[in-house]
Amino acid sequence: MIDLFINGKRVKSSSLETRNIIHPANGEIVETTQEATKTDVEQAINAAKNAFEKGPWPKTTNIHRSEILTKVAELLERDKQIYVKAESQDTAKRFIESEYDMDDVIKVFKYYAELIKTQSSRKVEVGRQEINSEIDFEPVGVIGLITPWNYPLLQASWKIAPALAAGCTFVIKPSELTPSTTSLLMDTLIEAGVPAGVANMVLGSGLVAGVPLSNHPDIDMVSFTGGLNTGKQIMVEASKTVKKIALELGGKNPNIVFADANQEAALDNALNAVFLHSGQVCSAGARLLVEESIHDTFVTELARRADLIRLGFPGDEATETGALISENHLIKIEKYVAQAISEGAILKAGGKRPTDPALQKGFFFRPTVLDNCHAKMQCVQDESFGPVLTVETFKTETQVIELANDTIYGLAGAVWTNDSNKAKRVAKSLRVGTVWINDYHPYVPQAEWGGFKQSGIGRELGPAGLAEYQEPKHVWQNLKPGVTHWFDGKEVK
C-alpha cells in the first residue's frame, strides 16, 4: 500500500479510499494507493506553507542545500535497482530504459547541487559610489507540482531538484497511474536530510488532488507537465490567485530528412524518434518530413523495420519496446489510426494490436507508419502520444520549414542533412524549444528544455530551470543617506 506523505510522515486518506495500479504489460495489480481528498490536499499545503514560513529550509545556505541534493543523488545511486523495478512495473518500459532514466534523474540532482552552490547575489552598477545595489534570488514559496505518467521520476526530478535548490517547499501529485517512484523519493529526501514538511505528496485524480494545487491561495506557483487541455485548465485555475505557472504541454514534433542526409543514420533514428517507449514521449518525432526524391525507398525500408520491432515485457532482453500505459489509451490510439486512414492516410506498417498470445492481457499496439499525410489532416496536427508516425513529403527547404512550423505546438524537432549551413538555417527557422541536427532525443541537465507556442510556458533544466523557482529581489542601499529637499516643508505665503 502506498500512503500519502504529509509533513514528513506516511498518512492514510481521510476517506480511506484506494486505487489499484495496473501493470500495463499484463493487466495485473502491482500496487494499491491511497486516494487523497480535498481535506488531505489542504493538509499537505498547510504543511508546506508552515515549513516555508517557519522552517529552516528557505533560510539555509546554498551550500547546505547543495549538500542535501548531493546526498539525494548518492542515495538514488545506492537504491537504483529498487527504483528501476518500481518504474518498470508502473510504466511497462524496459528495465534498461528505466535504468537510463534513473541515471538521468541522478544527473539532475547533481547538476542543481553544483549550480546552487555557485549562485550568489548580482551586483548592479548604478554609477554612484554611495549606492550598493544588488539582486538577490529568493525562493518563490510553496510549489504545486503535477507530473505525468510517461517518465514519472524523471519529470518529477526536473521540478523537485531546482525547487529544493531554490529553497522552496512543495506538494507533488504524481500521475495516479504511475506513483511508485515518486513515493519512494519522499523517503529518500527525508533520509538525505530534507526537513519534514518541505516535501509532501498527495495521490489521486487531477480533479480532486490536482485542482487545489492550481488554485489554492497558499500555493505560490504551479508546475505542470502533461496534456494541452489540462494545461489550459490549470492556467485558468492559477489565474484566480495570479500565481506563477510553468507548463510543459507536449508537442507534434517534426523530424526532417533531406536527400543528402546519412540515410542509414536517419532511418535508424527515425525509428527511435517515434517508437521509443511506444511513442509515449512528449518530444517524440511523430511527424516525418522526407524529401520527395528519397521518399519511396526511405519509407519502404522504415515500414519494413517498424514491422520487425519486438514488443514485450520489461524484463525480457528481446523486448525492444513495451505496452501503452492503459486500456483507455490503447483504445484512443486505435481510434486515432482509424481516423487517419479515413482522412486518406495509407497504412504502411502496424495499425493494430499484436497477435502474439503472450501479449493479449497487456495494452500493446504495433508500431504504426502512416504515409500520404499532409498538414491539414488531424493525425498530423493532433498529438497521438503513441507509436504512430505520419509521413509527409517536401521539395524545397522553404517548403519544409513552412510545413514543420504549421502546428500549434513547438517543443522539439530534428534536421538530417550533411550540409551544415542548411542544417543551421533550418534549425534557426524552426519554432521549437529544442532542435537536434543529425540526432534525436538526447538532452542534458545543463541545457534548458521547454516549448514555443502551445507547447508550454517557462523552461525546465539549465539555469532557467532554477530561475523558475526563484524571485529576483532588488535591494538598494544608500551608504550616505541625505536630504533630497524635494519637498522643502516651507509654508507658501
Query: Rounded mean pLDDT of 130-150?
Result: 97
CA distances from 443 to 64, 101, 433 (A): 28, 12, 12
CA distances from 458 to 84, 361, 424 (A): 29, 40, 24
Query: Rounded mean pLDDT of 93-112?
Result: 98
pLDDT at 300: 98
Cβ atoms of 243 and 222 within 8 Å: the answer is: yes
Active site residue 373: no
**What span, in angstroms and rounded, lies between the C-alpha atoms of 354 and 322?**
12
**What span, in angstroms and rounded, lies between the C-alpha atoms of 333 and 350?**
12
- What does the H/E/C string look like for 297-361? HHHHHHHHHHHCCCECCCCCCCCCECCCCCHHHHHHHHHHHHHHHHCCCEEEECCCCCCCHHHCC
DSSP 8-class letter at 267: H
Q: What SS3 class is residue 10?
A: strand
Q: Among all chains, which residue has been given the C-alpha cell 511523430?
A: 286
Confidence of residue 225 (pLDDT cuts 50, 70, 90): very high
Confidence of residue 345 (pLDDT cuts 50, 70, 90): very high
pLDDT at 488: 81
pLDDT at 263: 97
pLDDT at 420: 98
Residue partners of 273: CB distance under 8 A and separation at least 6: 253, 255, 284, 285, 286, 414, 440, 441
Nine-digit cell string for 252 = 507534434
Cβ atoms of 219 and 243 within 8 Å: the answer is: yes
Give me the sign of the Cα torsion angle 125, 131, 132, 134: negative
pTM: 0.96
pLDDT at 303: 98
**What span, in angstroms and rounded, lies between the C-alpha atoms of 480 and 472?**
25
Confidence of residue 36 (pLDDT cuts 50, 70, 90): very high
pLDDT at 197: 98
Task: Give per-residue burial for 423-448: e unless 16+ CB within 10 Å, then b.
Answer: beebbebbebbbbbbbebbeeebeeb
Cβ atoms of 459 and 450 within 8 Å: the answer is: yes
Confidence of residue 410 (pLDDT cuts 50, 70, 90): very high
DSSP 8-class letter at 215: H
pLDDT in tens, 266-309: 999 999 999 999 999 999 999 999 999 999 999 999 999 999 99
pLDDT in tens, 443-476: 999 999 999 999 999 999 999 999 999 999 999 9
For Cα atoms 334, 339, 345, give the angle at the middle one, nearest 5 degrees. Answer: 105
Give me the numbers of helices (H) and strands (E) for the chain, helices first please.
Answer: 15, 20
Q: How far, rounded to the nearest angstrom, does the alpha carbon of residue 354 sit from its chain's CA centroid?
A: 29
**What span, in angstroms and rounded, lies between the C-alpha atoms of 114 and 275?**
34
Nine-digit cell string for 192 = 538525505
Q: What is the mean pLDDT of the chain?
A: 97
**What span, in angstroms and rounded, lies between the C-alpha atoms of 247 and 231?**
7
Cβ atoms of 212 and 42 within 8 Å: the answer is: yes
Nearest to 15 by CA among 204, 146, 194: 204
Cβ atoms of 66 and 119 within 8 Å: the answer is: no
Active site residue 125: no
DSSP 8-class letter at 435: E
Task: Give per-residue burial for 47-58: e unless 16+ CB within 10 Å, then b.
Answer: bbbbbbeebebb
**What span, in angstroms and rounded, lies between the C-alpha atoms of 316 and 267?**
25
- Please, how many CA atoms are within 13 Å of residue 392, restricted to the half-sphere of its CB? 27
pLDDT at 277: 97
Confidence of residue 491 (pLDDT cuts 50, 70, 90): confident
Residue partners of 72: CB distance under 8 A and separation at least 6: 109, 161, 188, 189, 192, 194
pLDDT at 358: 95
With residue 134 as reference, give the H or E element that holds it: strand 131-139
Q: Which of 176, 237, 282, 373 is catalytic?
A: 282
Q: Which of 35, 97, 248, 460 is catalytic?
A: 248
pLDDT at 490: 83
Cβ atoms of 135 and 121 within 8 Å: the answer is: yes
Task: Give per-residue burial for 159-191: e unless 16+ CB within 10 Å, then b.
Answer: bbbbbbbbbbbbbbbbbbbbbbbbbbbbebbbe
Residue 409 has pLDDT above 80, yes or no: yes
Confidence of residue 255 (pLDDT cuts 50, 70, 90): very high
**What span, in angstroms and rounded, lies between the C-alpha atoms of 380 and 391?**
9
Residue 335 has pLDDT above 90, yes or no: yes
Task: Give per-residue burial for 390-416: e unless 16+ CB within 10 Å, then b.
Answer: bbbbbeebeebbebbbbbebbbbbbbb
pLDDT at 492: 78
Residue 160 has pLDDT above 90, yes or no: yes
Query: Rounded mean pLDDT of 42-53?
Result: 98
Query: Rounded mean pLDDT of 420-437?
Result: 98
**What span, in angstroms and rounded, lies between the C-alpha atoms of 140 and 35?**
28
Residue 493 has pLDDT above 80, yes or no: no
- Please, how many CA atoms are within 13 Å of residue 394, restricted to the half-sphere of its CB? 20
pLDDT at 398: 98
For Cα atoms 264, 266, 271, give the angle at the middle one, nearest 5 degrees. Answer: 100
List the beta bridge partners of residue 222.
144, 245
Phi, psi (deg, nearest 5) at residue 288: -95, 120
- Return the axis-axis angle of helices 62-78 and 180-192, rounded to nearest 10°: 130
Confidence of residue 489 (pLDDT cuts 50, 70, 90): confident
Query: Rounded mean pLDDT of 368-375?
Result: 97
